[in-house]
Copies of this chain bind each other. A is one copy, B any other.
Amino acid sequence: MIVQKFGGTSVKSAARINNVAGIISDAARAGPVVAVVSAMGDTTDYLLKLSKQISPKPPARELDALLATGEQISIALVAMALNQMGARAISLTGSQLGILTESVHSAARIVDINTDRITRYLDEGLVVVAAGFQGVSSEGHVTTLGRGGSDTTAVALAAALGAETCDIYTDVNGVYSADPNMVATARLLDRISYEEMLEMARVGAQVLHPRAVELARKNRLRVRVRNTFDRNNTGTLLTGAGEMEIYRPVSGVVLDRDQARLAIFKAPDQPGVAGLIFGALAERRIGVDMIIQAFHEDRSVNDITFTVRRDDAQSAFEALEAAAKELSAEGVSVDEDVAKVSIVGAGLMDRPDVASKMFTALGRAGINIKMISTSEIRISAIVSEKDAERAVKVIHDLFHLDE
């Protein structure tokens, strides 16, 4: 059994839907197929525009009910296309798929999948065309899974159904050593470990959402990232690091422009300060990425700097201003002209020289590093957005990632 997932650009038009149906029906000849489909091209944007015309802040439940129609349209059309080419298919919404989620709107997590209905249709020889991004709460409300929702649906279904492989079809050939639009010599990776992919996804490589990668890793699921528009391409395979002999210290370099840096200056150095600041951000559902706390010479106050997604910058700034007032901090700042450049590699942990090489090379190129954070297999640097693309090229050359 195989689970396939097709993103919004893959089903943008009738012609593209027919292309996708061709891929699915070919796979269906070899065995049972569940095809997870996103909303067509700009349907979601259109629906969001409609809702904004009516209400600047609509109830999350109604927004979910509205947005879920996007995938319901595309799954019906893909099922029609499959039937038209002789492959018997049935479309199922999140609720019909048995995807039970938390009772949270706009970013619900999957709690359980009751696969009875899917299995019954597969047993009858039908291709199941599954709506990505959506589920149903125990109260029977339509929920959506938030960012990376369709990828998550695909991986979760693959895990629940015990599928051999989950093919994520997108509009690129797979995972590259750097964005090929930015670095001409970027190389397509034929394999990558879950851990590397997770770090790459987290720092902005948009082929596969970290949530889906995490779920794949947990279930040791073979996930392949492939190109919808180039069927001969075998793409990039995600597997456990144990399956590969990894010698590369650096697999790729990733740029994330969706960053804003905020700071609060001279907050009192006492217990509960960080809790108050980041609690206020969590209340607004703002995810925080890098955090750096620096103490001043007199040790009674701290500067705290962190990054958030650019969309969240203004809301985070308001929260921070309120916190600063409460804490009698000296001031706050926000900088939206930053980007994050990261290198990722499963071999990084054994090579302490990689970080210093990277910082030295950036320094020589006149690129100022504003913040640094690292994990076992990733090193990220916040730089000015104007320097970001150059930083990617410098690093790609430095580590010979084209080889």
Which residues of A line the B interface, CB within 8 A? 14, 17-18, 47, 50-51, 53-55, 58-59, 61-63, 65-66, 68-69, 72-73, 75-77, 79-81, 83-84, 90-91, 93, 95-96, 117, 140, 142
Contacts and interface: CB of A to CB of B under 8 A. Distances in A.
From A55, A63, A142, residue with most partner B Cβ within 10 Å: A55
Q: Which 9 A-B pairs have the closest CB atoms?
A: A14-B53, A66-B76, A58-B80, A55-B84, A69-B69, A65-B76, A55-B80, A62-B76, A62-B79
Given A69-B72, A73-B69, A80 B59 contact: yes
A65 B72 contact: yes
A69 B81 CA distance: 18
Given A47-B73, A91-B62, A117-B140, A80 B54 contact: yes
Contacts of A93: 65, 142
A81 B56 CA distance: 10
A96 B140 contact: yes
| Number of identical protomers | 2
Contacts of A80: 51, 54-55, 58-59, 62-63, 66
Nearest to A40: B50
A53 B76 CA distance: 13
Nearest to A18: B54
A90 B61 contact: yes
A114 to B, nearest CB: 12
Contacts of A14: 50, 53-54
Contacts of A51: 76-77, 80
A392 B284 CA distance: 64
From A69, A83, A95, residue with most partner B Cβ within 10 Å: A69
A64 B90 CA distance: 12
A55 B14 CA distance: 10
B54 A77 contact: yes
18 contacts: A14-B50, A14-B54, A50-B73, A54-B77, A54-B80, A54-B84, A55-B80, A55-B84, A59-B79, A62-B76, A65-B72, A65-B75, A65-B76, A66-B73, A66-B76, A66-B77, A69-B72, A69-B73
A18 B77 CA distance: 31
Contacts of A17: 54
A88 to B, nearest CB: 9
Contacts of A90: 61-62
Contacts of A47: 73
A62 B50 contact: no
From A50, A73, A117, A142, residue with most partner B Cβ within 10 Å: A73
